[in-house]
Amino acid sequence: MELTGAKIIMEILKEEGVDTVFGITGGAAIEMYDELAKTDIRHIMVRHEQGAVHAADGYARAKKDVGVCMVTSGPGATNTVSGIASAYMDSIPLVVFTAQVPTSLIGNDAFQEVDIVGITRPCTKHNYLVRSIEDLARTVKEAFYIARSGRPGPVLVDIPKDISQTTTNYKPSPRPSLKSYNPTYRPNIRQLRWAMGLIKEARKPVIFAGGGVILSGASRELTKFAKRLKAPVAGTLMGLGAFPGTDKLWLGMLGMHGTYRANMSVQSCDLLIGVGVRFDDRVTGKLGTFAPYAKIIHIDIDPTSIRKNIPVTVPIVGDCKISLAELNRLMTKESFTVDKKSSKLWLDQIEEWKKTMPLSYDQRKTIKPQHVVEKLYELTNGNAIITTEVGQNQMWAAQYYHFDQPNCFITSGGLGCMGFGFPAAIGAQVACPDKLVVDIAGDGSIQMNIQELATAMQYKLPVKIVILNNRYLGMVRQWQELFYDKRYASTDIAHAPDFVKLAESYGGVGMRATRPEEVEPVLKEGLNTPGLAIMDFLVEREESVYPMVPAGAPITDMLLVN
């Protein structure tokens, strides 16, 4: 069957089960978009290419599948880089198609030519420049396979214009087999038995769950494991929802803005079981002081993540779901039981830490952002998909909205990319049209991709935006308050839009709360609005996120109150 390159791409998208593509067309992408228009694949035309990648990211997480976006060459391609880097840091499976100038012009500084393969090499799992029509089908199939297998990640495929125009014989090909790429899914049984030996000896165990648990679909296995072990569970920012946030064993988030009980538990435990985590600097604080009394078991599908930051006692390379299922099987086989006395003493100690320093704030005359998030949780019964921008709004969402299910908290964790939340909410809403999707935003971050209001309105996506508006770039202002003698250099947002009027100008609904008693009515009105709604909450300007561990300090050195 003779098909053009553009048509071959569409055929493979259908074979891979793709039902939605996010992007913007352009001169070099015309052929691909012309063929896309002939299919029943839905195209969401965003207003900026960064928004396209973030939307594909949000879609991938909510749908639990590969997200796809398509852009043109040159600036269209370079505008995707922040979104690709964010997906790479958070291990999100994406396939990004960038158009390119014809192969005969590559290297000649042609109009809208850029070496996007070179630019994105450090922030993609893999990338390709297709130089021959005969390589196209194999390359695209490989891209999807690499993106979703092993430790997931973004893959970029650069398509020269002449490749999309040229014809060749095409027939569907089987799943790729790459000799140099064979992820390890099943863990080594010897390592599992070694881990079981440490589990049996432990008297103060803690489980540390990360985004890998959610990506591998291992939440059920993790919960079963924790209940059997009677071990408390702490989470990373990316791991929120991996274990029920309302369960008694849940410690909360660990690290720089983690809970007192989570940080104290990890620093006091005798066994730390890390599952699908990277042990990054925001979690560990000062490396030499992290979990000083603990033996560490580390389970991850990516062998390069193990011992990268923290020395571990038992490394287990394997899929989190399979590895936890195997540990659960061994516990049953060996009739594992916990020591009731030591378990009670440990859990009682944790309960004491919880009572000593719970998350708290003082709600007085002004609106506290924590109150807005708590009230949002109460009104939604925890059943919304929450996306966030980056900064204080992100941390308050992590602390005060409790996630009982995976794939319901969507945020830019590793890169911390401002402007992420709203386009990610658009992607999540496309993936889950019957779910309530709320973007918790700051007034600074929301403006970085505010143009996507047009996208939400065009496709009738009823996303809700909750703006915690303090008229600052809040997280940087907090650091300036604490460590720079309150010199608020370039963090005071002196001029900001009227978000209510802005929502209305796009055809949406806007509303505002300026006093605490207005918070609940505004939330109710916004959440019950049939279409897109912006809820602007004028919150306490100099409210800070606590607890906070200063950069480079041990995670027990927490600043606890305003």
Please list the active-site residues. 49, 111-112, 161, 475
Q: Which tokens go with 561?
A: 């109150």
- C-alpha 549: how far from chain center: 22
> Which of 432, 435, 434, 412 has its CA nearest to residue 422?
412
CA distances from 253 to 73, 207, 543 (A): 41, 12, 20
Q: Could you give the 3-state DSSP secondary structure of residue 76?
A: helix
Q: H helices of 230-367, where?
A: 260-268, 281-284, 320-333, 340-356
CA distances from 330 to 16, 213, 257, 322 (A): 36, 19, 35, 12
141: number of Cβ within 10 Å: 18
Is the separation of the CB atoms in 165 and 5 below 8 Å?
A: yes
∠ CA(195), CA(199), CA(202), 5° rounding? 135
**CA-to-CA distance for 177 and 481, rounded, in angstroms?**
55
DSSP string, 150-163: SS--EEEEEEEHHH
205-209/154-160 β-pairing: unpaired
∠ CA(209), CA(253), CA(241), 5° rounding? 55
**Inter-helix orientation angle 340-356/260-268, to 10°:** 140
